[in-house]
Structure 1
Amino acid sequence: MTIEHLVGSAHFPDVVRLTLTLDAEYELDARLGAGSFGAVYRARALTLPASAPVYHAVKAIRKDPSRPDSVETVRREAMLHTRVTDIPGVVNVHGVWEDDEHVYIMLNYCAGGELYDWIEEDEFQGDDKHVRDIFVQILDAVRACHKKAVYHRDLKPENILCNEDGTKVYIADFGLVTDRKRSIRFGVGSAAYMSPGMSRSPDQCIGGEYNHTAYLTRSSDIWALGIILVNLIAGRNPWRTARLEDRQFWRFLGSIDEETNFWEHLGVSEELAVMLDRVFEMEPEMRLSIEEMREEVLSIRAFFAPQPVDTDPEKAVWRVACPLDASLGLHESEFLHGH
């Protein structure tokens, strides 16, 4: 069986024992994730002894001959990810290869898995220091990417990987990346993390930004960073999607007009609630910058409210949830719409 048979198949096995030759020979011994266009595998270098294994992650992406733009999309991902590979909080790219059927990207293997799983296991609950340490690492990595004109557009806990003990995090999955400060590609990313201006539905939009003019990619990343911070504190999302039809988002907008604390029922401290209101500004230019967010996060004494979280079902919110299919960063919209 060849790598072409594996990646081109409709279903990907959990564990495989295949050899892939890139810069050297690697054994693919575990599937880390799979989507419509490919899979990510753990790869062990066969040039080193099995008693002291060295692992990498190999992202194998199938070329789609029916969509000529798909190859350029993957090449752009590899190129822009490579541009930021030297940033400490970004998963390193070790090489990119192509054959007739696939593009292969070799990356650092992060033994701690996704930040999503650490949140699901309540690893951050009540731990202000852990929240601060991890979120500042994320801010620093995204800020460094922005300085190199690399805008992620799909920031979420599934796309942030951890070292084995969860003390270090790394931005991953650059499948929806762009180097453009403004974009007209709407509906890009994961719904719960999209800023309002990224919506496909103009009738659901709010204010001057939301009339299907180009949105600011830097500001959309900042919005997603705010949602990730809420995830770390509350273990859930504040709303399903930032649209008027979403009941929780509507409550948030009402709380701004009424000067009430929307964040209280999520167990968020008053200090952090004030900051979040500034992160989730409807006008992108009015949102806190990453530098301002970092300063605020370092100065906040407590992220968690001292009182118990409100369990009123009328204030119910949703657990963090995005399909694994998004983990490859290859969405249908990526091949159908402009940058």
Structure 2
Amino acid sequence: MLLTPPPSPQLATSLAPEDRLGCVLAGRLELVSILGIGAYGVVYQAIDRLTNIPYAVKALPKAGLDSRQRRFQRREIALHNQASQHPNVVSLLRILDSPDCTFVVIEFCPEGDLFSNITEHGRFVGDDQLAKHAFLQILDAVQYCHSTGIYHRDLKPENILVTNHGHTVKLADFGLATTDSVTSDFGCGSTFYMSPECQQAPTRPYARYAAAPNDVWSLGVILVNLTCGRNPWKKASVDDSTFRAFLKDPKFLSSILPISPELNLILRRIFECDPTKRITLQELRDMIINCPRLTTTSYNNLPPSPPSSPYVYVDSMDCANMALPPSPPASPPPHQQFRPHSSEWSLFEPASKQNSSCSSLSTDSGYESESPFPDAGQRLAPPVFNFYGNVIPLNEHEKPYYAQSTYAPTVAAF
């Protein structure tokens, strides 16, 4: 078992990110643009010279890493590879090694991450069917991960990529993932999405919490993001006035959010503070499929829902900051270094993309591109790993992924 990740490394490399542009990996993949720059590496767009298919390539520098940090890097790659057997997890296709860098080749999703799709493109919010369809895909990916003993611990819209005009979503970024079903990594993840038990300070030696219910809690916050375009609270803690109001009144969320009574019931089951009583993934899936209406403002022709009862208690500052701003800033250009901006009061505004804590080697896999390339269109068989040997060339003939898988993309029953 790998313990809590070490502090962030001070990476040093002789190459600036733009210096790798034009490089050709394995004789085929040409790095053509920068999709994003994080604290631990660079995400490039690459084009296969033989097929003209675009890919994303995460360049993870080796310089400045000690042996423990390298183990965490290898763990992230290995768990992502294992999870990518599922069609709603971003495919990890190849590992390419060089003396100063490990290149992770993943499928390219040109429509960016779920966060950008909600805040910048206006997708999902107001469209119950699309939101339900997307959420079930995320849920199925997480359920598959749990079935193989992988717990993501950093579920958030920034770590979910979008393709097929919003109809397909895929889980990404396994930098905080673990195989420990019970963990002592308190404060692991992003604050908006952490469960109460994950955020609390350990009260006794060897304190632990279960990883699976923590992922379920994060899914609940994502469900609110998809349906309402905002977060339910800044922090699931009694220090947060909005969360305290929810603890006092089970109808509180329906008084400040345009959610249906049915969805309010589901959220109450998800946001159960006792992790042993929290809804399971299978129960959640069944309830979502059978939910006739997620919101009261959807433009779909769904049955009407009775109006929510009025509620007078809302902290004015918290309530004001739950709304999305009308004009989010544009994404940074490909060559501009990504600098996340922290915001003390923001809940779900574009400037509030959070850096995940508790990771030494997590690279934000949510990337965006203005390039007009289509989606790759197929998933390739996972690679045989070669972390420190020669560069692994791409095969001339790849087997289609879906011929080997028993999993198919979720189709919601409406």
TM-score of Structure 1 vs Structure 2, range by shorter chain: 0.7 to 0.9
Q: Match for residue 237 of structure 2?
A: 243
Distance 2:16 2:23 in 1: 19
Distance 2:90 2:258 in 1: 32
Q: Secondary structure at the match of 2:276?
A: helix
Provide closer, same or farther for how the CA distance between residues 325 and 241 of structure 1 changes in structure 2, counting only shifts above 3 A: closer
Amino acid at match of 2:252: N
Contact 2:186 2:202 in 1 (8 A): no
Contact 2:123 2:166 in 1 (8 A): no
Provide closer, same or farther for how the CA distance between residues 289 and 32 of structure 1 changes in structure 2, counting only shifts above 3 A: same
Report the Cα offset of residue 145 of structure 1.
1.1
- 2:325 aligned with 1:334, yes or no? no
**CA deviations over 1:44-74 (Å, ceiling 9, x no partner):** 11233xxxx2111111112353543111111
Contact 1:239 1:246 in 2 (8 A): yes
Q: Match for residue 291 of structure 2?
A: 300
Contact 2:92 2:105 in 1 (8 A): yes
Contact 1:110 1:163 in 2 (8 A): yes
Which protein, 1 or 2, shows the higher relative CO under an 8 Å CA cutoff with sep ≥ 6?
A: 2
Residue range with higher mean Cα deviation, 130-139 or 309-318 = 309-318
Q: Secondary structure at the match of 2:32?
A: strand
Residue range with higher mean Cα deviation, 39-48 or 187-196 = 39-48
Q: Give the gaps of 5 or more residues in structure 1.
A: 1-5, 204-209
Superposition pairs of residues 18-167 of structure 1, within 5 angstroms = 18-22=22-26, 24-48=27-51, 53-65=52-64, 67-120=66-119, 121-167=121-167
Residue range with higher mean Cα deviation, 90-99 or 72-81 = 90-99
Report the Cα offset of residue 162 of structure 1.
1.0
Q: TM-score, normalised by structure 2?
A: 0.69
Report the Cα offset of residue 323 of structure 1.
5.8
Contact 2:190 2:354 in 1 (8 A): no
Superposition pairs of residues 204-283 of structure 1, within 5 angstroms = 213-256=207-250, 260-283=251-274
Report the Cα offset of residue 11 of structure 1.
7.1
Residue range with higher mean Cα deviation, 303-312 or 224-233 = 303-312
In the alignment, which of 266, 272, 285 is matched to residue 276 of structure 2? 285
Contact 1:63 1:70 in 2 (8 A): no
Q: Match for residue 207 of structure 1?
A: none
**Greater share of strand:** 1
Contact 2:22 2:31 in 1 (8 A): yes
Contact 1:7 1:61 in 2 (8 A): no
Distance 2:146 2:208 in 1: 18
Amino acid at match of 1:272: L
Distance 1:64 1:198 in 2: 32
Distance 2:132 2:272 in 1: 22
Q: TM-score, normalised by structure 1?
A: 0.83
Distance 1:34 1:246 in 2: 32
**Greater share of helix:** 1
Amino acid at match of 1:198: C
Q: Secondary structure at the match of 2:84?
A: coil
Distance 1:225 1:233 in 2: 12
Provide closer, same or farther for how the CA distance between residues 100 and 184 of structure 1 changes in structure 2, counting only shifts above 3 A: farther
Contact 1:7 1:39 in 2 (8 A): no
Report the Cα offset of residue 8 of structure 1.
3.2
Distance 1:46 1:129 in 2: 39
Q: Secondary structure at the match of 1:245?
A: coil
Amino acid at match of 1:124: F
Report the Cα offset of residue 335 of structure 1.
3.7
Q: Give the gaps of 5 or more residues in structure 2.
A: 1-10, 298-306, 323-346, 362-414
Q: Secondary structure at the match of 2:161?
A: strand
Contact 1:36 1:325 in 2 (8 A): no
Report the Cα offset of residue 249 of structure 1.
1.4
Provide closer, same or farther for how the CA distance between residues 95 and 75 of structure 1 changes in structure 2, counting only shifts above 3 A: same
Provide closer, same or farther for how the CA distance between residues 325 and 124 of structure 1 changes in structure 2, counting only shifts above 3 A: closer
Q: Match for residue 190 of structure 1?
A: 190
Provide closer, same or farther for how the CA distance between residues 128 and 94 of structure 1 changes in structure 2, counting only shifts above 3 A: same
Contact 1:35 1:324 in 2 (8 A): no
Report the Cα offset of residue 272 of structure 1.
0.5
Distance 2:97 2:351 in 1: 29
Contact 2:57 2:104 in 1 (8 A): yes
Distance 1:323 1:26 in 2: 34
- State percent identity of aligned pairs: 33
Q: Secondary structure at the match of 2:176?
A: coil
Contact 1:270 1:305 in 2 (8 A): no
**CA deviations over 1:210-246 (Å, ceiling 9, x no partner):** 9972111111110110000000111011111112211
Contact 1:64 1:70 in 2 (8 A): no
Distance 1:179 1:169 in 2: 23
Alignment coverage as a number of residue pairs: 312
Q: Match for residue 8 of structure 1?
A: 13
